Amino acid sequence: MSYVVNYLPELPKNRNVGIGCIGSGFIMADCHLVAYRNAGLNPVAIAGRNRDRLHQVAQRHNLPAIYTDYREMLDDERVEIVDIAVPPDVQFDIIHSIVHHRRKVKGILAQKPLGVNYQQALEIVRLCEDANIVLAVNQNMRYDQSVRSMKSLLNQSAFGEPIFATIDMRAIPHWMPWQQRQGWVTLRIMSIHHLDTFRYWFGDPIRIFASTRQDPRTLQKFAHTDGICAYILEYANGLRACSWDDVWAGPALEGAAADTYIRWRVEGLSGMARGTIGWPEYPKPTSSTIEYTTISTGNHWIHPTWKEVWFPDAFLGTMTQLLCAIEQGKEPEISGRDNLKTMALVDAAYLSAAEHRAVDLAEIQSS
Looking up residue 29, the CATH number of its domain turns out to be 3.40.50.720
Please state, in angstroms and as integers, the Cα–Cα distance from residue 326 to each residue in 57, 110, 320, 323, 339, following that order: 27, 15, 10, 5, 18
For 318-342, what is each residue's pLDDT tens digit? 999 999 999 999 999 999 999 999 9
| Inside any domain, residue 154 | yes
| Inside any domain, residue 5 | no
pTM (2 d.p.): 0.97
pLDDT at 367: 78
pLDDT at 9: 97
CA torsion 353-359-364-367 (nearest 10°) is -100
| Inside any domain, residue 287 | yes
pLDDT at 269: 98
For 224-245, what is each residue's pLDDT tens digit? 999 999 999 999 999 999 999 9
215 and 360 belong to one structural domain: yes
- Domain containing 175 — which CATH number? 3.30.360.10
Instruction: Supply the mean pLDDT for the chain.
Output: 97
pLDDT at 187: 98
Residue-level length of the chain: 367
Instruction: Calculate mean pLDDT across residues 67-79.
Output: 97
Closest by alpha carbon to 178, among 83, 51, 115, 89?
89
Q: 183: domain range?
A: 142-311+342-365
DSSP run (H or E) holding 360: strand 359-360
Instruction: Calculate mean pLDDT across residues 54-60.
Output: 97
Residue 2 pLDDT exceeds 90:
no
For 338-358, what is each residue's pLDDT tens digit? 999 999 999 999 999 999 999
What number of CA atoms fall less than 13 Å from residue 233's CA on the CB side?
Answer: 30
| Cβ atoms of residues 250 and 175 within 8 Å | no
